[in-house]
Structure 1
Amino acid sequence: MSKTWSVEEHLEDILGTVRPLEPIELQLLDAQGCVLVEDITVPVALPPFDNSSMDGYAVRAADTAEASADSPVALRVVGEVAAGSSELPSLAAGQAVRIMTGAPLPSGAEAVVPVEWTDGGLGGEPVDAMPTGATGRDVVDGEVRVFRPASQGAHVRTRGSDVRPGTVALTAGTVLGPAQISLLAAIGRGSVTVRPRPRVVVLSTGSELTAPGEELGPGRIYDANSFALTAAARAAGALAYRVGAVPDDPDSLRSTIEDQLIRADAVVTSGGVSVGAYDVVKEALSGVEDGPEDGLGAGGGVEFRRLAMQPGKPQGFGVVGPDRTPLLALPGNPVSAYVSFELFVRPLVRALMGCSPVRRAAVTARLSADAPLVSPEGKRQFLRGEYSPPGEGERLGTVRPVGGAGSHLVAALAQANALIDVPEKTTAVEPGDELSVLPLD
């Protein structure tokens, strides 16, 4: 009798086989979602010069110290500075310079008075916004009235107040999202060295499968798995490619996989891994190691296993093709396929990316249910659940089962945000008991 593998043994075998993808240099937008392989040091101060955080007037702080609503201070406007200005006026006592947000601070200026604290140089009461179409020399008598004092440094973004030169802005291992891309652009980096997002090819097997949007004939079902697994692979960080469903023909399956290897860092199949008469994946890939040296068997072939888990007992894993591309063969039932993806494919994707950790972080929660959870002895069961984080003052969150244990219950899966992890030796979990939960994105 063949060995029954544990979930941990199967995952360790997968992770022990794959290695992170080789680093490449990419332009910033192409690097989104990738993992840095180097620390990024700031070459220049950010911001690179003192600048205004408001539209208003650059002033000396002492000149506004006595300003009030009843007794405004009048300052002579001697010029204006817009963002991007390179020639800056100098500021003497009793003077002000009209300034825009992001503009460099003139020489001699110590603070910025927001325009809302002034009359905008138009005379009268404080204005709501900077007057348009007029320069500092177009205002009444060339003066601006200030109604509130501005302390030294007020509304000024000083040079290096964000990051200083030589600072490590991002460390190796960082996943580049929009905020990180923004920082890289702000410090002048046009490209970075990263591990690329792995290319994952997803395909379903089964002559009964029909593409969504087409008419559903007798005995046919819609192909949900390839869409679910492609979406899951993209959510995990991969560049995922969905291939149309392959009929129950071993030659067609082998040919399809061989054609896809050119664009695959990993291949994921669903269906055809059990012991039925039409389990095409098992039939097509079990003996590929005996094939031609440049074919699928060049990588060593695929091993099909029984795991001590529910759902997802039948699994396949191996490396195929000349480049030893990892292939994970998942069960065909929708919930089994999705749970298998979370437990095995997602860690593989993150390992290829060079992410750490590769597994989702488990949390402990209390079971919220009207009846005990029953689990078969000797099998690690993963049930769909709705997890609620702990509230204020609470030590643990709660989780309640969603739907039954059937591996075909797609509607229940769509309502779940977590997997309830019941160990092999546990046959029942009572309401209120603590158990391990894997929150999902």
Structure 2
Amino acid sequence: MRPWRSRRPLTPAIDSTRGSSVNSLQRRCVVDIAAARAVLARYMLPVEPEQAGIINAFGRTLAQDLASDASVPPRDEAAKTGYAVIASDTACATRESPRRLSVLSTASTFSKRIEPGTVMPVREGEPLPEGADAVVATADCYRPEQGPEVLVFIETEPGANVVPAGSRLPAGEVLLRQGCVVGPVEMEILAMLGRHGVAVRRKPRIGVLTTGAGVVDILEDVKPGQSRNAARYALIGMLLDSGCDLGRLIHVRECRVGLERALAQCAGCDAVIVALASNDKHDAALEALSSVGTRCFDRVQIAPGGACAFGIA
């Protein structure tokens, strides 16, 4: 579910078939599914952004585009373990006629640059020393007794076994778009960018109100004619699965008066879901909604589930 919050309309809700406010039980607004979705889209806005650490950002919605501020890798890297070489030094090399090249120690003064006729050991993922333009894999050469020279058995081309600078992430490229949900792949990209914190949308805070005199909580004993409040926990599961925070969780036994009181207690929530125990309580719930805000529609043309209303406060 997309993060959202409600906002007060600029004008009262209008029944498109009657041209009048629907904040009266004498004037009902019944809409089809498309119209209901249009109303929801009109009055739902993204919640405000906040900063979250990379771990706490998991499952949250990004509030900004993220671009790489540097190339990855920043320099050419070895794609295989072997020896960094100047490709032209391997010209015409074969197993029958290998090229003999001097091995520079990685701890030597010249460890950051190789000259013609020299090579340097590199591991996969290490940056190439200056002057090198290719890597000969360990399987294609032989260094007798780890001596000062290595025999190269193949001719290489510039760029062979090399990961070019910026080939994974070019500098300035947008990698994550605003609105995407942070998952494992997105966390890896954030780590590659060095982002220990990121702007994400605050989790919407949703209240859940359930009703019914014969509905009891899961810790209460069920008497004849009663049932457990399973709907509450189904709604809670759906909200948590959608990335929401839970607001007030209230069960109301007296429908209208209790709902009005419970809705007032949910003033700090971004939205409130009211689950009725039966459809015959729908009118009482509409009256309670009218007392705290504006009803936008009262029913939806769908079965089952038509007793679905939406309002704003």
Same fold (TM over 0.5): yes
Partner of 2:112: 89
What's the secondary structure of 1:286's corresponding residue?
A: helix
Does structure 2 retain, via aligned residues, the 8 Å contact 1:286–1:304?
A: no
Residue 12 of structure 1 aligns to which amino acid in structure 2? A
Separation of aligned partners in 2, 1:220 and 1:117: 79
Task: Supply the distance in 2 between the matched residues of 1:261 and 1:171 (Cα, whole angstroms).
Answer: 32
| C-alpha distance in 2 between matches for 1:160 and 1:147 | 30
Aligned match of 1:106: 129
Q: Look up the equivalent residue of 1:183 and give its one-letter code.
A: I
Structure 2 stretches lacking a partner, 5+ long: 1-25
Report what 1:410 is aligned to.
Answer: none
Amino acid in the other structure paired with 2:133: E
Once the two structures are TM-superposed, the CA of residue 283 in structure 1 deviates from its matched residue by 3.4
Structure having the higher Rg: 2
TM-score scaled by length of structure 1: 0.54
TM-score, normalisation: structure 2: 0.72
* Paired amino acid for 1:310: A
Match in the other structure for 1:21:
47
Q: Check conservation: 2:62, 2:178, Cα contact below 8 A.
A: yes
What amino acid maps onto 1:114 in structure 2?
A
Q: Secondary structure at the match of 1:310?
A: coil
Counterpart secondary structure, 2:41? helix
Query: Once the two structures are superposed, what CA deviation does each residue of 1:225-275 show, in whole Å capped at 9, x if it has no partner?
Result: 334333333444x3243876725334665555544543x322223233621
Could you tell me which of 274, 294, 297 is aligned with 1:269? 274
| Alignment match, 1:374 | none
**Alignment check: 8 A CA contact 1:273 1:314 kept:** no
- Tell me: CA distance 1:191–1:244, structure 2 relative to 1, closer, same or farther (3 Å): closer
Which amino acid letter does the alignment assign opposite residue 136 of structure 2? V
Letter in 1 for 2:309: G
- CA change 1:217–1:210 in 2 (3 A) is farther
| CA RMSD between the two structures | 3.6
Deviation per residue, 1:207-237 (Å, 9 max, x gap): 43553x998765555544334333333444x
Q: How does 1:16-415 map to 2 (within 5 A)?
A: 16-69=42-95, 72-80=98-106, 88-119=111-142, 121=143, 123=144, 139-206=145-212, 207-211=214-218, 219=225, 221=227, 223-236=229-242, 238-241=243-246, 246=251, 248-250=253-255, 257-262=263-268, 264-272=269-277, 274-275=279-280, 279=281, 283=284, 286-287=287-288, 289-290=290-291, 297=292, 300=293, 305-319=298-312, 324=313
Instruction: Give 3-state SS (helix, strand or coil) of 1:76's partner.
Output: strand
Distance in 2 of aligned mates of 1:88 and 1:266: 63
Distance 1:101 1:59 in 2: 14
Larger RCO of the pair (alpha carbons < 8 Å, separation 6+): 2
Give the total of aligned pairs: 283
* Percent sequence identity over aligned pairs: 29
Secondary structure, in 3 states, of the residue corresponding to 2:103? strand
Structure 1 residues 208 and 65, CA gap change in structure 2 (3 angstroms): farther
**Superposed CA offset, 1:288-343 (max 9, x none):** 554xxxxxx2xx15577232111211012223xxxx4xxxxxxxxxxxxxxxxxxx
Counterparts in 2 of 1:270 and 1:70: CA distance versus 1, 3 Å: farther
